[in-house]
C-alpha cells in the first residue's frame, strides 16, 4: 500500500557528519529521509523553542536517560548522527502518553515523532528494535493466532516479573475462576475471548495491506514464518466454512 508523503523531504541534507559516523553518510540520510517523508512529520514538527516544557512533563524523562526536547532538537536541526544514535536506545523509553503533545507551545508531538523513529528503526531492522520487540513475540503470536493480545494464561509471575508481589493476586486458579463466568466464550484461559474466524481473516488482510507483516518479517523471520503458517491454516478453514455454507445452501434449494 502506498502512502502520501510529507512535503518536507529535501534533496540535500546539510548536516555535517563526524569523522567516524556509525554507518555511512548515505545510510544516515536514508534513515532520516524515511522519518521525514512520513505524512505525519508535517503535523508533528513545526519548530522548536528548546523551552523544555515537553521534557518537564514527560514521565519517561523522569526515570530514564531520555528527553523529548532532545529528540525534537535532533530532528529540527537535522542532526543525522544524533538521530541515529537516539534510535539505538533512547526512543524506546517513551511511554507514548502524549503529555508532551498537549503541552508544546509549537503544537509539536514529540511522542508522535518518537513513533515515526521507532517505525523507521523497525523498517531498517535495527538491532535496538529487535531487542525491544523480542520479549513481545509471544504477545504477537497470540494476537495473530487468536485475535487477543493477552490471555489469562499469560499472566504469571514468570511473564511479569516487573509487577512484583502484586502478580500473585492474579496468578490464581484461573481455570476454575473462569468457569464461574457465565458467558461460555469466556470459559477459557487460552484466549481472552474467542474472535470469530471471519474477523481473524479480515485482520490478516489489514496487517498485510498496512505493512505490519512486512515489518514483522524484518524484525523476526522465525516468528513471521510461524505466523504466516497459522494465517494460511485459518484462511483454509475459512474457505472450507464458505464451501460448507454453499453446499448447505444447495441442499436447501
> Contact residues for ligand SF4 (CB under 6 A)?
48-54, 58-60, 68-69, 72, 94-100, 104-106, 108, 110-111, 114
Q: CB of 26: closest distance to ligand SF4 in angstroms?
A: 29
Q: What minimum distance in Å lies between the beta carbon of 66 and ligand SF4? A: 7
DSSP state of 161: G
Q: In this complex, which beta carbon is closest to ligand SF4, that of residue 83 or of residue 231?
A: 83
Q: Which of 27, 40, 99 is nearest to 68 (CA)?
A: 99
- Minimum gap (Å) between residue 5 Cβ and ligand SF4: 23
Q: Nearest to residue 120, comparing CAs of 149, 80, 160?
A: 80
For ligand SF4, the closer CB: 100 or 121: 100
CB atoms within 10 A of CB 67: 20
Give me the least distance between CB of 116 and ligand SF4, in Å please.
12
Q: Which residues of 23-47 are buried (b: 16+ CB within 10 A; e: fewer)?
A: eeeeebbebbbbbbbbebbeebbee
Q: Which is nearer to ligand SF4, 28 or 94 (CB)?
A: 94
Q: How far is CA 31 from the centre of its chain?
A: 18
| CA–CA–CA angle 90, 96, 102 (5° rounding) | 115
Closer to ligand SF4 at the Cβ: 88 or 137? 88
Rank residues 102 and 172 by Cβ distance to ligand SF4 and give the closer one.
Answer: 102
- Closest residue to ligand SF4: CB criterion: 111
Shortest spacing between CB 43 and ligand SF4, in angstroms: 13
Amino acid at each position: 500500500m502506498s502512502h502520501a508523503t510529507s512535503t518536507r523531504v529535501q534533496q540535500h541534507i546539510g548536516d555535517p557528519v563526524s569523522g567516524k559516523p556509525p554507518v555511512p553518510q548515505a545510510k544516515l540520510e536514508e534513515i532520516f529521509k524515511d522519518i521525514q517523508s512520513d505524512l505525519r512529520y508535517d503535523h508533528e514538527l513545526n519548530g522548536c523553542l528548546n523551552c523544555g516544557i515537553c521534557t518537564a512533563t514527560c514521565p519517561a524523562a523522569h526515570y530514564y536517560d531520555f528527553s523529548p526536547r532532545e529528540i525534537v532538537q535532533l530532528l529540527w536541526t537535522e542532526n543525522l548522527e544524533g538521530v541515529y544514535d537516539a534510535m539505538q536506545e533512547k526512543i524506546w523509553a517513551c511511554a507514548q502518553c502524549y503529555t508532551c503533545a498537549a503541552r508544546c507551545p509549537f503544537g509539536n508531538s514529540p511522542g508522535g515523532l518518537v513513533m515515526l523513529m521507532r517505525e523507521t528503526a523497525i523498517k531498517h531492522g535495527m538491532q535496538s528494535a529487535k531487542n525491544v520487540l523480542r520479549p513481545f513475540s509471544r504477545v504477537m503470536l497470540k494476537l495473530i493466532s487468536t485475535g487477543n493480545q493477552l490471555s489469562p494464561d499469560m499472566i504469571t509471575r514468570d511473564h511479569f516479573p516487573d509487577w512484583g508481589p502484586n502478580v500473585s493476586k492474579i496468578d490464581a486458579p484461573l481455570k476454575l475462576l473462569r468457569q464461574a463466568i457465565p458467558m461460555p466464550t469466556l470459559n477459557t484461559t487460552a484466549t481472552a475471548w474467542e474472535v470469530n474466524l471471519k474477523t481473524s481473516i479480515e485482520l490478516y488482510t489489514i496487517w498485510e495491506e498496512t505493512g505490519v507483516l512486512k515489518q514483522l518479517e524484518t524484525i523476526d523471520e522465525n516468528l513471521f514464518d510461524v505466523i504466516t503458517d497459522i494465517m494460511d491454516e485459518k484462511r483454509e478453514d475459512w474457505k472450507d466454512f464458505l464451501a460448507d455454507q454453499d453446499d448447505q445452501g444447495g441442499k436447501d434449494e
